[in-house]
Amino acid sequence: MGFYSDVIIPIFFDKSMDKPQIHEGRKKTLENVSGEVLEIGFGSGLNLPYYPDSVTSLTTIDKNPGMFRIAQERIEQSNIKVESKIVNGEELPFENQSFDSIVSTYTLCSIKNVDLALKEIYRVLKPDGKFFFKEHGLSDDPKIQKWQNRINPLQKIWADGCNLNRDFRELLDAAGFKFEELRNYVMAESSKTRGYMYDGIAVK
């Protein structure tokens, strides 16, 4: 990784994602998470304060060492024991059916081979487990979609691989998931191109 990805991007995302409306969303997404948990794309650890007492263990992955360095302070302040691994979501180093809950917030937009990552999530989730997700992606408005597709090449450059135009309903369906819950909306205080949300719970 270069200086931009390893140093600038972690600082930028830690600051830009540390906002009240985003934290309120994190809290709602995580309130029913339980058991042995895997978080995909742990980043700087902004989800940590919102994990409930029903979590018995938390394993996290992120490919960016710079994110991990920022997250360390939050890990040290948390009552949850965290096992962190610096790996890519496309090849998870875990046995089949290892986790009760898997969490992804604002992460799947940036994984290069998202299809493979979702297959890996499906593989390591227990048969009765749940995948809790909150991601921004492709709007349901064709006019907004056109702008998302136009802007996306530039977005990927400055935001270190983040995509605006991924259809997570279609992607999760293709990976074999069924939706227990799915909500689509534009996040408060966000543009329609960057703030169209896919928020829900998927099961096998």
For 161-175, what is the mean pLDDT?
A: 98
Q: In this predicted structure, what is the pLDDT of residue 1?
A: 60
Each residue's pLDDT tens digit, 91-111: 999 999 999 999 999 999 999
Question: At a CB cut-off of 8 Å and minimum separation 6, what does 108 contact?
Answer: 40, 41, 114, 117, 118, 133, 135, 166, 168, 171
Backbone CA torsion sign across 56, 61, 65, 70: negative
DSSP state of 36: E
pTM for the complete prediction? 0.95
Residue 3 confidence class, pLDDT cut points 50, 70, 90: confident
pLDDT of amino acid 184 = 98
Please classify residue 182 by burial: count the beta carbons closer than 10 Å to its beta carbon, then call 0-12 exposed, 13-18 middle and 19+ buried: middle
Structure-block tokens of residue 6: 């390893």
pLDDT in tens, 152-163: 999 999 998 999
Q: Is the pLDDT of residue 7 over 90?
A: no
How far are the Cα atoms of 18, 39, 52, 146, 170 from residue 191, in angstroms, in the given order?
Answer: 17, 27, 30, 14, 22
The answer to whether domain 3-203 has CATH 3.40.50.150 is: yes
User: Strands 125-136 and 99-105, how do they pair?
Assistant: parallel
pLDDT band at 2 (very low <50, low <70, confident <90, very high): confident
Domain boundaries, the chain: 3-203
Can you read off the two tokens belonging to residue 155?
Answer: 């977005």
